[in-house]
Amino acid sequence: MFRPIPILDWVRGYDRLTFGADLMAAVIVTIMLIPQSLAYALLAGLPAQVGLYASIAPLLLYAIFGTSRTLAVGPVAVVSLMTAAAVGQIAAPGTAEYLGAAIAMAVLSGLMLLAMGLLRLGFIANFLSHPVISGFISASAVLIAVGQLPALLGISAPGHTLPHIVQGIADGLPDLAPITLLIGSAALGFLWAARTRLKPALLKLGVAPGTAAVLVRAAPVLAVALTTVASWAFGLQARGVAVVGDIPSGLPMPALPPLDPALWQAILLPAALISLVGYVESVSVAQTLAAKRRQRIDPDQELVALGAANIGAGLSGGFPVTGGFARSVVNFDAGAQTPAAGAFTAIAIALATLFLTPLLFHLPKATLAATIIVAVLGLVDLAALRRVWAINRADFAAMATTILLTLGLGVEAGIAAGVALSLLLHLYRTSKPHVAVIGQVQGTEHYRNVLRHDVVTTPEVLALRIDEALYFPNARFLEDTLLAAVADDPRIRHVVLNCVAVNDIDSSAVESLEASNARLHDAGVSLHLAEVKGPVMDRLRRTALLQDLSGAVHLTMYDAMQALAPALARATRNLPRCETARA
């Protein structure tokens, strides 16, 4: 539970060059983060300034406790949507109760992450398969993008599922606001062009790559500035254009979240789902970026860091946060060397909160909606469905189900189904492991699957290779497989289990082996083990199986065949190798 604080590791070698690189990265990320923070707060159903609050303390705390040198923590689209979906069932948006529930959600999520980190439970995230997470993020991005269309059209269309949002848009079309549509469409077109066309155009004009990247990242700030000036100059608020309105200046004051037990009980499950999804997204980004620089992260310490960041977000009036993909990539590309870049970004956001918020009064909400749409469309990867289909149909079914449930029933139902499907798929696959009948490859001491290679076998010896750890879901399957194989061929006198792929064994599997050994012995068949790994053998020595084993334990499969069919083993070993792999 006690480990060194990561900041003590990187701060020792901090120098002027590193400071300059971190400062430049912080400037670039701040330019990107200000409009995103405002937009994601509105996406979560919260006042715009809450997004700024959620971008200060979390960055500072992650700089202290995080192990990734370039991960940028703050509000992200998927977690914002999950927050809105969960809190919207408890209170009405715009009320003090809604804000209090969002703050409590951040603190509770942080406490969960912190507890998981201290107990080193980072492995739990491994139970969410990549296809399920990919499907959930793609579906959530579609929900977010479609959910922002009403703001672009100047209409109201509440809902957290795709059918409800689409129905709301259809019902609200008669009230479409042309000026809002014009502002939103212009911002959307500009941001999309900046994201896809601006950098190549600047490079053709001879602009340095670094400068071109900064200009591309600054596009949302420019869109905010231009539409805000236009809104103020032409009095668009009076013409029905929804604007952000008054954003209080000043830093958030630390405060405890609501301590209502009923509220905490209501948000318990949503907070757990947000914690899990946020952690998976964050650690995936952190590991990807760390690998590019041959660095490493500590997944358990990342839980601690994200937990501290979320607690800090809640205590400073923010909502749940995690490591953002796009923001972290920008931080990486901008040359950030240490988490100090995040701390500098937090200071810049704090200064913006103090001095720039009055300038955002006339900012059209349609501009922020366009910012969100452009940001999340990069998360949609429906082509992954085709790739997953080609690799594994069960993964495809899980991914497609997660997408459909997320779109049709909402993000909570989607991710809950994804978690359940991931666990069920794992249990299903391991409950029926691959079992191969193996024989000796001519001219070698190697044993391979009889269905894939030309091998030599003897009818008196059945050699089976189990390609899975042996534990309670597949214990009965193993027993049934052994007994069925012997029942089908009365010539068998010995069964050899090749355990080269067995990395673990539990008490249920040991009991199943003991039962199989007894039944095979009653049928006049001996059970042997071969190539048992050390950790598995250590467990078997603490049981009665080895003493009661009707056969023996052999170091290698070749040793087993020398003992059970010596003439065949010697003859086959001396033959020239003739192995032909089959499809």
Asked if 445 contacts 558 with a C-beta cutoff of 8 angstroms, the reply is yes
Which structure tokens are listed for 525? Answer: 């068949």
CATH class of the domain at 432-574: alpha beta
Question: What is the rounded distance in angstroms from the CA atom of residue 150 to the CA atom of residue 173?
Answer: 9
Pair of tokens at residue 442: 């001519």
> Bridge-partner residues for 439, per DSSP?
448
End-to-end Cα spacing for the chain: 50
In this structure, what are the phi and psi dihedrals at residue 321, rounded to the nearest 5 degrees? Answer: -130, 165
pLDDT in tens, 105-138: 999 999 999 999 999 888 877 777 788 888 888 9
At CA 321, angle to CA 320 and CA 325, rounded to 5?
145
Query: If the chain, 583 residues long, is cut into consecutive pieces of 10 residues, what is the mean pLDDT of each piece?
Result: 74 90 90 89 93 95 94 93 92 92 96 93 78 88 91 86 91 91 94 88 85 81 92 92 90 90 94 91 88 87 95 96 88 89 95 91 93 87 89 88 91 84 83 91 87 90 93 90 90 94 93 94 94 94 93 93 79 51 33
* pTM (whole model) above 0.75: yes
Alpha-carbon distance 286 to 302, whole Å? 9
The count of other CB atoms within 10 Å of the CB of residue 549 is 18
Structure-block tokens of residue 226: 């231009």
SS3 of the chain: helix, strand, coil, percent, to 5: 65, 5, 30
From the list 489, 309, 380, the residue with the least C-alpha distance to 144 is 380
Q: What is the pLDDT of residue 424?
A: 85
Q: What is the CA radius of gyration of the chain?
A: 30
**Beta bridge partner(s), residue 323:** 73
Q: Phi, psi (5° rounding) for residue 334?
A: -75, -5
Name residue 294's amino acid.
R
H-type alpha helices, 334-382:
340-355, 365-377
pLDDT in tens, 385-396: 899 999 988 889
Helices (H), 258-323: 261-266, 268-292, 299-315
Cβ-proximal residues to 208 (8 Å cutoff; 6+ apart), any chain: none
Enumerate the domain spans of the chain.
7-426, 432-574
